[in-house]
Chain A
Amino acid sequence: MTDRQGSASTSARRPASKAPASARTHASRSTSATPSTSRSTTSTARSVASPRSGSPKNKPRRPPERRLPVGSPKGRLRFALIALGLIATLLAARAIVVQGLDSAANAAKAAALMSVSRTIVPNRGTITDRYGEVLASSQPAVTVIADPTQIATNGKLASAMTTKDKAKAALAPSAIADVLVQYLGGDHDAYVTLLTKPDTKYVVIAKKVPAYTYLQVSDRLTALGYVGLFRETAAVRTYPNGTLASNILGFVRDSDNGVGQIGAGGLEYTYNMQLAGVEGSEVYETSPNGKIPTGQNVLVPAQDGVTYTLTLDAGLQYMVESRLQETVDQAKAVSGTAIVMNVKTGELLAMANYPSFDSNSPGTALAANLGNRAITDAYEPGSVEKVLTMAALTDSGAITPDTRVVVPKEVMSGGKPIKDAFAHNTINLTARGVVANSSNIGTVLLTRQMDKAKLITYLQSFGLGSSTGLGLPGEASGSLPSTSLADNTRDQIAFGQGLSVTAIQEAAAVAGIVNGGIYNSPTIIKSAVTTDGKAVAVPVSTSKRVISESSSQMVLDMMESVVASKVGVSRFPIDGYRTAAKSGTAERIDPTCKCYNGYVASFIGVAPVEDPSILVYIVVDQPKGAFQGSQVAAPAYKDIMKIALQRYGVLPSTTAAPVKPIDW
């Protein structure tokens, strides 16, 4: 305190001694600023200073230095204290407002200015076949963008370009096009047209370019000294097998924000949420120089999508699809479906549809071919249904394969005659012979021995009339008459008309019947795991007994007679194996006229009879020319069954098929 007072007093004294020098400046300054103040200070200053001043020449100029006439340091101190106090109060008040009142809002504002948030896009899950072969996977990709304005000057300011720069810029479009052709393929001139498009700064050069390819393009252009190419991140979904299993896998479309993809068909659609994964985020603090290394950094990693392993066998699927295509083309049919199933587990080894599409480019396909006919299309199964009818008949104790039945030329049902596909007079057949010859009349006569409501209950237990729960979108449930059905309806459904099924329902039903009577609901997803190896729940096969084991044997006996009896022995057997089969030729309901128009030819078979392991079912819709299942679908069945038996190491049968009586 004493020091300060001392200095204050010194300073107070100083002007007096140095008056002549500073007085001039003060005077000039104050007069120019505020004349009135200067006048008043002048007068006061004069009154104080005049007694000491010796020189009259300086007199009028001296007063301004005495502007603040705080003679005593106390006054100055008080003034300074009040001023400081005021400032301190203001600052404190401001501090309270900032820190105390809206602290949260302010902190958030500050953080927002400094921190940057970035979304981390998860990788879409992979779909593989049962052996891990990739059927669908996602790859980092980019959309290549060009800025023609920048390319025109090769990134230079137009005004600052030298002749050399101009020469280089003139070559740029062609040179960049060369690089693009080298790495992306395509047409040089088309690229040049895009790269020189006038009055724009944004031209899409190529979409879905693998990220690494773009890096190579970008590196090459940097090395050559050209600029003007940019990228936008966008993942790409690839289906390395193209059309293979496309009806099952489905396809994706770009999400609305353009970053991710959304499943739009098949498994991609059903399991979109699981496949998509969960977006992550990174929040970090940044300065104009980039990320602040010691700053706050919150990283929530993205959770990549779930990987699905299917029960499908890609190799088998390929052969089945190829064979089905040949079948449909040769029959000049509208479409075809083929199913290969593991009888013991209900697992689908192959599920083919033709015509189909390429999952990589669903936009180019017909909308009708994007679905999965094996599960979405319900049709009248025809004679293949007799397997189910016989299963119900044997299990209810109504018949055995040797039950004798007299088959007349025709039988009346609801006032209309039912006939067989082959002309005959009255013949004597065993139940086995009814199946072997595929006699509608025989089947109707046998079925009339059973309670009709019970028949419907059996068919329901075989899975008809309700979807199989496969987990694929758009599965139809087909239609089954109620238990109070009319007698003539019963007669019709006995041989597979008057009810509708999907191919997958029919295949699963027959598989259950021949599998010792244990029905396994079909499955197409084997397992699913997250990226950290945790299992994800998938639809599982449910098992139930639908008929007794002995009934199952009886049905197999009847189905084997289709192949081994004189009716089919020349056409259906597979070398080395005892097989059981049934053909089907059904009149097809035309939805437009609600009448029968065209046929559905089908063939189903299992092998080996001793221990049924593999089931193959072929359905051909509206073949032209030959329309019998035994003609149109059987050859494909045989080829596919042969391959499947080999592929799964099913040993050939050791015994020959027994020849059992089909007539009497």
Chain B
Amino acid sequence: MSALVEPRQKAQDTTSGLRPVPARQGGLGRLPFMLILAGVLVAGLVGLLMLQTRVQEQSFEVRQLQTRATQLSYKQAQLEAQVQQKATPAEIARQATSLGMVPNPYAVYIDVRTGTVVGTQRTVRGNEVPYITYRSPEQKAADAAAASPTPDPAQPGDSTPQETNQ
């Protein structure tokens, strides 16, 4: 029996020096508490509204930028097509001719180790490779006019019969 009683007494002894904690001072009254709650609610709602607005705004922005990106991709595609068009061999031949260039079928090679030139250098007159020399429609008309009275001499294909006749 005493075993049960003793600890209790002991506890009472140890706590005998303690005083009850005084009641909390200045606890929130009912009104301020409600105000705070209301404030939190309002802040939350406003925050949510702002977030929603922002998300909407951004989605509009995203849509606008996507449209812009699409338009730019269209532009890019168009420009790429133009580049492809300008890079075709036929167009390069035309441009080169308009710059006064003629194809040179007599290439020579430079051996960079020795600096010697391999091959025979020859003057190009411009009619060596008629089939890849661009002729404008006007030039072609002039060629045809020049060719009709005297069909033989300065024909574009003059090199061919020459070689076979040799």
Contact = CB atoms under 8 A, between A and B. Distances in A.
A445 B77 CA distance: 64
A319 interface: yes
B131 A325 contact: yes
Interface string A315-358: 10111001101100010000000000000000000000000000
Interface in B152-166: 157, 159-160, 163-164, 166
A211 B63 CA distance: 19
B58 A318 contact: no
Contacts of B78: 139, 210-213
Given A134-B84, A210-B74, A244-B90, A291 B63 contact: yes
Interface residues of A, number: 44
A244 B90 CA distance: 9
A639 interface: yes
Interface string B26-39: 00000000000000
Given A293-B59, A330-B157, A646-B105, A318 B89 contact: yes
Given A134-B84, A649-B109, A652-B119, A293 B56 contact: yes
Interface string A621-664: 00000000001001100110011001001011000000000000
A212 B90 contact: no
A184 to B, nearest CB: 13
Contacts of A212: 71, 74-75, 77-78
B89 A240 contact: no
A571 B164 contact: yes
Nearest to A316: B89
Interface in A201-247: 210-213, 215, 238, 240-242, 244
Contact of B63 (A290, A322, A652): A290
B166 A571 contact: yes
B81 A326 contact: no
B166 A318 contact: no
A192 to B, nearest CB: 27
Contacts of A319: 89, 129, 131-132
Nearest to A647: B107
Interface in B52-88: 55-56, 58-59, 62-63, 71, 73-75, 77-78, 80-81, 84-85, 87-88
B131 A242 contact: no
A10 interface: no
A420 interface: no
Given A139-B78, A212-B77, A576-B119, A639 B88 contact: no
How extensive is the interface on chain B, given as a class? 35 or more
A377 interface: no
A139 B164 contact: no
A318 B81 contact: no
Interface string A388-421: 0000000000000000000000000000000000
Chain B at the A interface: mostly helix, strand, loop or mixed?
A: helix
Contacts of A318: 88-90, 93, 132
A139 B78 CA distance: 8
Among A134, A293, A315, the most chain B Cβ lie within 10 Å of the Cβ of A293
B150 interface: no
A639 B131 contact: yes
Contacts of A17: none
A570 interface: yes
Given A319-B131, A570-B166, A571-B163, A240 B120 contact: no
A575 interface: yes
Among B63, B87, B90, B105, the most chain A Cβ lie within 10 Å of the Cβ of B90
A314 interface: yes
A326 B166 CA distance: 21
B5 interface: no
B74 A291 contact: no
Given A137-B81, A244-B88, A323 B71 contact: no
B74 A240 contact: no
A639 B107 CA distance: 13
Nearest to B54: A293
A140 B109 contact: no
Contacts of B164: 571, 631, 634-635
A294 interface: yes
Interface in A276-298: 290-291, 293-294
A213 B84 CA distance: 17
Among B63, B78, B80, the most chain A Cβ lie within 10 Å of the Cβ of B78
B81 A646 contact: no
A403 B35 CA distance: 119
Given A215-B71, A635-B163, A651-B109, A314 B129 contact: no
A133 interface: yes
Nearest to A128: B84
B88 A314 contact: yes
B131 A322 contact: yes
A646 B75 CA distance: 39
Contacts of B87: 133-134, 240
B118 interface: yes
Nearest to B105: A642
Across the A-B interface, give the 10 residue pairs with the lowest CB-CB distance, nearest first.
A293-B59, A318-B89, A212-B74, A240-B84, A212-B78, A211-B74, A646-B107, A322-B131, A635-B160, A134-B84
6 contacts: A241-B90, A315-B89, A570-B166, A634-B164, A635-B163, A639-B105
Interface of A: 133-134, 137, 139-140, 210-213, 215, 238, 240-242, 244, 290-291, 293-294, 314-315, 317-319, 322-323, 325-326, 330, 570-571, 575-576, 631, 634-635, 638-639, 642-643, 646, 649, 651-652
Interface of B: 55-56, 58-59, 62-63, 71, 73-75, 77-78, 80-81, 84-85, 87-90, 93, 105-107, 109, 118-120, 129-132, 157, 159-160, 163-164, 166
